[in-house]
A = this chain, B = another copy of it.
Amino acid sequence: MKNIGLESLIPKALEAAETLKALAHETRLLAVCFIGEGEKTVQELEDFIETSQSNVSQHLSRLKAAGILKSRKDGKQVFYSTASPEIIRLVMTLQSIYCPPATGQAKKKAGGKA
């Protein structure tokens, strides 16, 4: 298994770091995960993440500025959605690290009881 190749990111390190900074906050990561299910209004996010309207709005605008989310307005409401599949992939990678997929085979010992 090849392990190398990381060096090709080096010229883009600053740019990549900016994206990471935008994601590197519990509230924002929660928001992105939640929005990953499908577009959400600010209100829905406000309920989900339990914090003030102002706080959610500020985090959302940071995510938008970073190119992670986009928004569309419909009537009084604003709907946020992910701006690119790449971000989804990144979050999915995090998920695979922190929530390792049950490997199907629950590696149970033969004759395991209860």
Seen from chain A, the residues whose Cβ lies within 8 Å of a Cβ on chain B are 3-17, 19-21, 23-26, 28-30, 32-34, 36-37, 86, 88-99
Contacts and interface: CB of A to CB of B under 8 A. Distances in A.
B34 A7 contact: yes
Pick the most buried of A14, A21, A24: most chain B CB atoms within 10 A of its CB: A24
Given A6-B88, A9-B99, A89-B97, 20 more contacts: A3-B88, A6-B34, A6-B36, A6-B95, A9-B94, A9-B98, A10-B34, A11-B99, A13-B26, A13-B33, A17-B28, A17-B29, A19-B94, A20-B23, A21-B21, A21-B25, A86-B97, A90-B93, A90-B97, A93-B93
Nearest to A31: B13
